[in-house]
Structure 1
Amino acid sequence: MRPSALGGYDDWPDFVRDTLPLTGDELTTKVAGLLGVPEPGAAPAVRTVDEWQADGVHTSELEWTTPFGPPTRAWLLRPAGRAPRAALLGLHCHAGVKSIGAERLVDVPQPSRVAIRVRDDLYEGQPAANVLARAGFVVLCHDTFAWGSRRFELAAEDDESYDVAARSHEHTVAKAAGILGTSLAGMVAYDDLTALSVLRRVDGVDKVGVFGLSGGGGRAAILTALDPGIAASAVVCMMTTFAGLIPSYVDVHSWLFSTPGLARHLDHPTLAAGRARHQQLVVYAEDDELFSPAGMHDADRELTEHFHYGPGSYEGVFLPGRHRFDAGMQRIVGDFLTKALYT
């Protein structure tokens, strides 16, 4: 018998076959159907693995189990000595790095070399979740489907070689997902909805927002469309029309942003706008190597039109420079989310 191509996830096919798709209002049902998002169950039992406090932030390392695949590792951050009413779900980027997940967003006692490298390259060396926790939020960051603790079992000697193998293996995952009637984005959304249910059980939280860079920004757009209770969303360097990707920019994107058939029904700005009832920020990098200028500006115009009559709002910010979520962008996101969730 040939070895499994889905190491660590041999129970995934049966889970998808035996689980009904997510349903809700018209938009939730439509998006869940297009992506193949299974219906999440009740919020999982959560175990605290470790805790520490540093630089004004109390951090708890958590773990929970879903009905398939390996356990999920996550970090819950709180500003020390304060009891925030608003909470954020931090969604890590893709970056071609699957050996780690949310660790790139969190200041942990012994960060991996890969986490430091990704943070230095894309986040100006800053753990974005800690920055936002110090700004007054509870922040939950989790490893999602196929990343970090939720990664597939692949033959690799270290994290760097794992990431090389995972780039090719993503095609295998996407093929298997398509056969099963789901997608990489749909399964990631399942894990994100599960994490959102964990965050909503935090005492004292009455408003929830989401934020993410790049692939994390795409995840934020999908999650906001699936869950009408999200009050604010900050998308960084992840906005374009789908037309702006073809023919010159499609190869620089992963299966996370390439669900077959989605563009026939929803353009990416339409997906991000959703019901236009939430507060939406998009930060664009004018020299972003992953998106065409025309695609970004067309998306900005479409989002402005979608939110024109409210009741939500849209703010688009264009900044010079390459694809990243640097310190200046993190301040913009923090200021926006503070205004959106605390006023």
Structure 2
Amino acid sequence: MTRRDLRGLEGLDALLGHPFSAPAEAVDPATLRSRLRDELGVPPAPAAIRVVEDGSWTRDGVDGVALRWSAGFGADVEGWLLRPAGERRALPGILALHCHGGMKFHGKEKIADGPVSPRFAANDGRVAAFRGDAYDGVAVANVFARAGYAVLAHDAFGWGGRRQRIADMPERVRRAAERDPASGSSDESERYDAHAGAAEDAVAKTLGVLGTSWGGIIAQGDLVAARILAERAAPGGVVAVGHSGGGARAGLLSALADDAVRGAGVVSMMSTIDAVLDGYVHTHTWALMTPGLGRVGEWPDIVAARAPRPLFVGYATGDRLFPLEGMRAADARIRARYRVAGAPDAYRAHWADAPHSFRAPAQHAFLDWASELFAS
């Protein structure tokens, strides 16, 4: 669906004063960040965060600790803190942000291997297939840990341990989910994801009435997680990285976070909003398509809002969720923002002939970039 399909809405963005056509040089980063927080409706973080350890393990060269903390509402957040096996020193930190992927039964499990137990071993086959497509078959958070980082992977609101029960979903959602054959699957995760997709709009509506949004409530959780990682394991600061919806999370976190977040990696989640509006909106999560986002600025302006803070962006030329011209326009716009900030080399673009994914070449390029960042 395009703006033209919506009964002649082409030109509405200009009438409403959306800044899509404004040159990158005209963007005021401080104003953008303030507007972003307001439009997202980011809830305040708890003043004090009590982190509970729920067990530890060693697996495939990685030491892991299961952590749990309160976000101030709803179910506790569950996270896995991963380190190179036997390493006790303070390490540089990576906040690994899981994607959307149409899979909400699992959150951190899509990118991290945790303890071997019936709870976390369930549905491994489905997770393995997902990783094969999105991450070249690896638990990318564990790859980062083995490379010498303290890595935290946690469940975003609506995923994994913070998912909504099917029984608590509105009856209208349950009826809509019944149209999906997977809603009757014997696989609990398939059955849940068929319902969660149908429920996402209802949750977005409720969050909007409450004065927040999917993007805002997820950003609040990521801000808290970055703080926990920095305080517990990475006093030298952290970088955030994610693929797809995780890339949206990394971009928003970088724009909103203080100096504890030293850089961000946004992978397979970059285009101008203007290009996405024509035929691509329906392919994307509410975490990116927040109502009012167009009043804040272009997506590349938001991701570059902390320039000269280092930024890594992975582009996949075969990505069907974004138009190639939108990616190229975003790349040019980010470069302009970093030139204005006097730090053109602080932005690193990695282009891959790949589908919507975070595969090995991009993983290696990100780790090279992170190594340079923490060495500086």
Q: Confirm whether residue 119 of structure 1 aligns to residue 100 of structure 2.
A: no
Structure 2 length as normaliser, TM-score? Answer: 0.81
Structure-1 separation of matches of 2:200 and 2:59: 36
Counterpart of 2:271 (choices 237, 240, 247) is 240
1:164-204 deviation line (CA, Å, top 9, x unaligned):
10001000011111111111111111111121121121145
**Aligned equivalents of 1:26 and 1:42: distance in 2?**
25
Aligned counterpart, 2:207: 177
Question: Aligned runs of 1:20-169 on 2, under 5 Å?
Answer: 27-82=32-87, 83-108=89-114, 109=116, 110-111=120-121, 112-113=123-124, 114-155=126-167, 158-169=188-199
**Aligned partners of 1:233 and 1:46: how far apart in 2?**
24
- In structure 1, how many angstroms separate the alpha carbons of the residues matched to 2:70 and 2:55? 17
CA contact (8 A) 1:93 1:213 kept: yes
Is 1:292 the counterpart of 2:316 in the alignment? no
Q: Are 2:216 and 1:216 aligned?
A: no
Quote the residue 1:328 is aligned against. 361
Indicate the structure (1 or 2) with the bigger Cα radius of gyration: 2
User: Secondary structure of 1:336's match?
Assistant: helix
* Residue number in structure 2 paired with 1:8: none
Structure 1 counterpart SS, 2:232: coil
2:216 is paired with a residue of what secondary structure?
helix
Letter in 2 for 1:323: H
Q: Distance in 1 between matches of 2:352 and 2:33?
A: 32
CA distance in 2, matches of 1:142, 1:287: 29
- Point out where structure 2 has 5 or more consecutive residues left out of the alignment: 1-29, 168-182
Q: Check the 8 A contact 1:43/1:197 in 2, yes or no.
A: no
The amino acid across from 1:96 in the alignment is G
Which secondary structure does the structure 2 equivalent of 1:61 belong to?
Answer: strand
CA contact 1:43–1:198 (8 Å) conserved in 2: no
The answer (yes or no) to whether the contact 1:286–1:293 under 8 Å persists in 2 is yes
Structure 1 letter corresponding to 2:359: D
Q: Judge conservation of contact 2:99–2:246 (CA < 8 Å) in 1.
A: yes
Indicate the residue corresponding to 2:221 in structure 1: 191
Give secondary structure in 2 for the equivalent of 1:308.
helix
Q: Does 1:305 align with 2:328?
A: no
Change (3 A) 1:203 1:162: closer
Q: CA 1:85/1:44 → structure 2, altered by over 3 Å: closer, same or farther?
A: same
The Cα shift of 1:288 comes to 0.3
Distance 1:302 1:204 in 2: 32
Q: Which amino acid aligns with 1:102?
A: K
Which position in structure 1 is the counterpart of 2:11? none
Inter-CA distance 176–321: structure 2 relative to 1 (3 Å threshold)? same
Whether 2:296 is the aligned partner of 1:265: answer yes
8 A Cα contact 2:32 2:297, kept in partner: no
User: What TM-score does the superposition give when structure 1 sets the normalisation length?
Assistant: 0.89
Q: Per the alignment, do residues 295 and 203 of structure 1 end up closer, same or farther by CA in structure 2, a change over 3 Å counting?
A: closer
- 1:208-247: CA deviations, max 9, x gaps? 1100000000000000010131211111100000011122
Q: Displacement, 1:85?
A: 3.1
For structure 1, which segment, 27-36 or 120-129, has the greater mean C-alpha deviation from structure 2 after superposition? 27-36
Alpha-carbon distance change, 43 to 216 in structure 1, aligned in 2, over 3 angstroms: farther
Per mean C-alpha deviation after superposition, the further-off stretch among 151-160 and 267-276 is: 151-160
Tell me: CA distance 1:333–1:84, structure 2 relative to 1, closer, same or farther (3 Å). farther
Comparing 29-38 and 170-179, the one that deviates more: 29-38
Residues 232 and 175 of structure 1: CA distance in aligned 2, closer, same or farther (over 3 Å)? same
Q: In the alignment, which residue of structure 2 is the partner of 1:21?
A: none
Partners of 1:43 and 1:194 within 8 A in 2: no
- Partner of residue 340, structure 1: 373
Instruction: Flag as ranges the 4+ runs of structure 1 deviating above 6 A.
Output: none
Q: What is the SS of the residue equivalent to 1:297?
A: helix
Distance (whole Å) between structure 2 residues aligned to residue 311 and residue 217 of structure 1: 25
The answer for the alignment partner of 2:230 in structure 1 is 200
The reply on whether 1:256 has 2:287 as its aligned counterpart is yes
Contact 2:50 2:69 in 1 (8 A): yes
In structure 2, how many angstroms separate the alpha carbons of the residues matched to 1:131 and 1:118? Answer: 17
Distance in 1 between the 2:349 and 2:81 partners?
A: 29
Partner in structure 2 of residue 14 of structure 1: none
What is the alpha-carbon distance in structure 2 between the residues aligned to residue 182 and residue 132 of structure 1?
32
Structure 1 gaps, min length 5: 1-24
**Identity, % of aligned positions:** 37
Helix, strand or coil at the partner of 1:52? strand
The answer to whether the Cα contact below 8 Å between 1:232 and 1:341 also exists between their aligned partners in 2 is no
